[in-house]
């Protein structure tokens, strides 16, 4: 695995650096991508540092993307954060630069990039970026600290998930020393709209749970339209089934405009990313995503969760 020294040498060698992350971003995707952007801008003000991808409306309060032209990639260093596999990279031009670096914390099933740093023990890509800054004595500032802290909070479920380690807490404490509005961030990340509250009620009312704690719920296009919730906004209820003590592992099937289903898989203890890999997906042992292309495949995925818990 590539060292932080190798990454820093490449950063120093290029005048233009373009940073990508995964499609349908979460706080860690934005936090690691734009936190790295702010970190590099602060330490290398003479360089051109840009972040690219589709602006996610629910996360523009964190950061917004830059305008990146095709010509920007000529002779540029490209860094992709928080993205396990190539099909998920937001902005297909990530391969158009001179050199490519992958920085990630997901299982490295898709090895890409000229060099890569993948640490599956890290809670988040934002933790890795912060660790990179601290180990290589790069100066953090409030703008970078705010984004990286948000990324860590997002991917640890506010430090509740098993991936939270003593190093995670140490790094988070270091970031909290900087002057950003922590209270405003906490309120923003902990709040949701009234329509999401109503959708949570629908999830509780329509959740199937078996005797072993395998759970599922399906959000059809009609349901999303009824509650006026977008696919991206529906991610706010991904942890809802886990609030129930009986529920151990669960799947949320979200119908897409094209007719297939985006499958959000979560688990408290049983490893479910192997199921995700069987269905055009992947991710962490306890938090993964997959794709289903029929109602029959939905049933198969739920059956596999049931069998996992039964055994």
Query: Which pLDDT tens digit goes with each residue over 243-282?
Result: 999 999 999 999 999 999 999 999 999 999 999 999 998 8
Backbone angles phi, psi at 247, to 5 degrees: -75, 130
Whole-angstrom distance, CA of residue 105 vs CA of residue 117: 8
How do residues 212-226 score in pLDDT, each as one tens digit? 999 999 999 999 999
Q: Is pLDDT above 90 for 2?
A: no
Taken in order of first residue, the domains within the chain and their CATH numbers are: 4-189 (3.90.1640.10), 196-310 (3.10.310.30)
How do residues 153-173 score in pLDDT, each as one tens digit? 999 989 988 899 999 999 999
Q: State the average pLDDT over residues 74-87.
A: 96
Q: What is the pLDDT of residue 105?
A: 96
310: confidence class by pLDDT, cuts 50, 70, 90? very high
Q: What is the pLDDT of residue 255?
A: 97
Q: What is the pLDDT of residue 232?
A: 85
Whole-angstrom distance, CA of residue 119 vs CA of residue 261: 30
Q: Angle at the Cα of 117 (from 82 to 99), degrees rounded to 5?
A: 90
Report the DSSP pairing between strands 287-292 and 115-118. Answer: unpaired
Nearest to 79 by CA among 41, 37, 133, 140: 37
Q: What is the pLDDT of residue 234?
A: 92
Q: Which residues does 290 contact at the CB level (< 8 Å), separation at least 6? A: 263, 265, 275, 276, 278, 279, 280, 281, 282, 301
């Amino acid at each position: 695995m590539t060292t932080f020294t190798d990454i820093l040498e490449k950063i120093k060698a290029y005048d233009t650096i373009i940073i990508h992350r995964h499609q349908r971003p979460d706080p860690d995707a934005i936090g690691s991508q734009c936190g790295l952007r702010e970190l590099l801008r602060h330490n290398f003000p003479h360089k051109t540092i840009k972040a690219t991808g589709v602006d996610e409306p629910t996360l523009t309060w964190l950061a917004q993307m830059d305008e990146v032209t095709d010509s920007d990639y000529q002779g540029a260093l490209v860094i992709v954060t928080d993205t396990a596999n190539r099909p998920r990279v937001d902005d297909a031009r990530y391969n158009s630069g001179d050199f490519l670096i992958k920085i990630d914390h997901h299982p490295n099933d898709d090895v890409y990039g000229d060099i890569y740093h993948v640490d599956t023990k890290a809670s988040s890509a934002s933790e890795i970026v912060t660790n990179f800054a601290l180990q290589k004595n790069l100066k953090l500032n409030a703008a970078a600290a705010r984004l990286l802290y948000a990324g860590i909070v997002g991917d640890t479920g506010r430090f509740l998930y098993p991936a939270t380690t003593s190093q995670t807490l140490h790094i988070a404490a270091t970031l909290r020393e900087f002057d950003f509005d922590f209270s405003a961030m906490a309120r923003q990340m902990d709040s949701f709209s009234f329509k999401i509250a109503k959708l949570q009620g629908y999830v509780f009312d329509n959740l199937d749970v078996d005797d072993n704690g395998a759970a599922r719920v399906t959000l059809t296009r009609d349901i999303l339209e009824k509650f006026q919730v977008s696919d991206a906004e529906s991610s706010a209820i991904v942890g809802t089934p886990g609030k129930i003590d009986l529920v151990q592992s669960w799947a949320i099937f979200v119908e897409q405009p094209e007719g297939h289903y985006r499958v959000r898989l979560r688990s408290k203890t049983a490893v479910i990313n192997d199921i995700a890999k069987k269905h055009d997906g992947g991710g962490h042992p306890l938090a993964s995503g997959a794709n289903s292309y029929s109602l029959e495949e939905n049933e198969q995925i739920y059956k596999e969760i049931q069998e996992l818990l039964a055994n």
